[in-house]
């Protein structure tokens, strides 16, 4: 259960990049123990390896972008959510372009292929971070908390002044089954007027009704409708999975987010790395595993 995993075989994806609108090819390859998830831009000379860690995040404006030596890869979050959600700890992601294809706007196209290839259990324990002290990032009425909790859990809520969204809340255990059955198919979303503004600015050349839920003032413009009545909050939870993956560890704690997004997730992951709020569990010491996993759930106090 707590051993590292990689993929049994490599997987190819091809699709349109949301920002550039051009075709991008991605190859996800198996990797050795303790390799982690590492992206590699193969269309630049020499190729550049960028570890999928919060310290390599360079932009969180429209998506999560990582970079090194001036070379960047955008929109990694839905692929990261698929890897982390399924429990893939080690993989090399080769990308022939500046962004991961948007596919259908969810993690499902990635999940489907990874499940088809299967996972290979490895011989080294996972790195698990046990949260002992709560940390938080608050920005007005938006916030993220990470609390001590013996079962890894995510509670996500949103509040959009739109007739088909409004207030939505999603509570989910952080495990592969919950991720696949409840979150993986939830698509990203945007309002038509924002979509048009971003398209005019040349920021989403690859955006279409096939890659996102698009809303007008009354409802959903996609002819097929929604995949779940609360698809919006489920997608926000999916994004949180993808951004938590950039800790490079499994997190034993309870993440609570409200009206959050990539930027707040990023600030929380940075805090996790820099503030003393827990410890990395040594699974080779069974007595520590038994003794220290005592629940000490702390309720958030929200002003
Ligand atoms: Zn997203």
Average pLDDT over residues 45-49: 96
> Of 127, 125, 108, 124, whose CA–CA distance to 116 is shortest?
108
Q: Where are the domains of the chain?
A: 3-125, 128-292
Task: Please tell me the distance between residue 105's alpha carbon and the centre of ligand 1 in angstroms.
Answer: 7
Task: Please tell me the distance between residue 261's alpha carbon and the centre of ligand 1 in angstroms.
Answer: 9
Q: Phi/psi at 82 (nearest 5 deg)?
A: -65, -45
Q: How confident is the model at residue 166, as a pLDDT?
A: 94
What's this model's pTM, rounded to 2 decimal places? 0.92
Residue 79 CA to residue 240 CA, distance in Å, equals 12
pLDDT over 90, % of the chain: 78
Question: Which CATH number applies to 3-125?
Answer: 3.30.230.20
According to DSSP, the β-strands at 91-95 and 37-41 are parallel
Q: How confident is the model at residue 285, as a pLDDT?
A: 64
Task: Please tell me the distance between residue 188's alpha carbon and the centre of ligand 1 in angstroms.
Answer: 5
Average pLDDT over residues 17-45: 94
Q: Is the pLDDT of residue 65 over 60?
A: yes
Task: Please tell me the distance between residue 294's alpha carbon and the centre of ligand 1 in angstroms.
Answer: 34
Q: Is the pLDDT of residue 297 over 50?
A: no
Question: Which CATH number applies to 128-292?
Answer: 3.30.1700.10
Q: Is the pLDDT of residue 302 over 50?
A: no
Measure Cα distances from 155 to 54, 257, 282 in Å: 21, 6, 27
Q: Is the pLDDT of residue 158 over 60?
A: yes
Q: Is the pLDDT of residue 22 over 90?
A: no
Q: Provide the 8-state DSSP code for 297.
A: -
> Which residues are catalytic, by number?
262
Q: How confident is the model at residue 193, as a pLDDT?
A: 84
Q: Is the pLDDT of residue 178 over 70?
A: yes
Could you report the per-residue pLDDT of 76-117, keeping only the tens digit for each? 999 999 999 999 999 999 999 999 999 999 999 999 999 999
Could you report the per-residue pLDDT of 179-229, keeping only the tens digit for each? 999 999 999 998 888 888 877 877 777 778 889 999 999 899 999 999 999
Residue 248 CA to residue 94 CA, distance in Å, equals 18
Average pLDDT over residues 58-69: 93
Task: Please tell me the distance between residue 289's alpha carbon and the centre of ligand 1 in angstroms.
Answer: 34
Residue 271 CA to residue 281 CA, distance in Å, equals 18
């Amino acid at each position: 259960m707590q051993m590292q995993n990689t993929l049994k075989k490599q997987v190819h994806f091809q699709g349109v990049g949301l920002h550039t609108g051009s075709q991008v090819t991605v190859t996800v390859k198996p990797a050795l123990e303790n390799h982690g998830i590492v992206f590699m831009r193969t269309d630049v000379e020499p190729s550049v390896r960028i570890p999928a860690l919060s310290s390599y995040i360079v932009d969180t404006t429209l998506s999560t972008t990582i970079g090194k030596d001036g070379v960047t890869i955008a929109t990694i979050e839905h692929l990261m959510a698929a890897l982390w959600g399924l429990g893939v700890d080690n993989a090399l992601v080769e990308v022939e372009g500046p962004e991961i294809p948007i596919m259908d706007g969810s993690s499902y196209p990635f999940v489907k292929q990874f499940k088809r290839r299967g996972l290979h259990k490895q011989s080294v324990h996972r790195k698990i971070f046990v949260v002992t002290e709560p940390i938080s990032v608050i920005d007005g009425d938006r916030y993220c908390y990470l609390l001590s909790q013996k079962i890894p859990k995510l509670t996500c809520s949103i509040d959009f002044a739109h007739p088909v969204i409004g207030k939505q809340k999603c509570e989910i255990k952080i495990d592969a089954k919950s991720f696949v059955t409840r979150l993986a198919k939830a698509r990203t979303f945007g309002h038509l007027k924002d979509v048009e503004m971003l398209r005019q600015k040349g920021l989403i050349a690859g955006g279409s009704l096939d890659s996102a839920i698009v809303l007008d003032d009354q409802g959903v413009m996609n002819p097929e409708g929604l995949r779940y009545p609360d698809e919006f909050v489920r997608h926000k939870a999916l994004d949180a999975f993808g951004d938590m993956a950039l800790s490079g560890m499994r997190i034993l704690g309870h993440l609570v987010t409200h009206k959050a997004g990539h930027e707040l997730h990023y600030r929380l992951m940075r805090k996790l790395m820099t503030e003393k709020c827990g410890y990395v569990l040594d699974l080779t010491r069974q007595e520590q595993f038994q003794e220290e996993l005592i629940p000490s759930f702390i309720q958030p106090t929200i002003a």
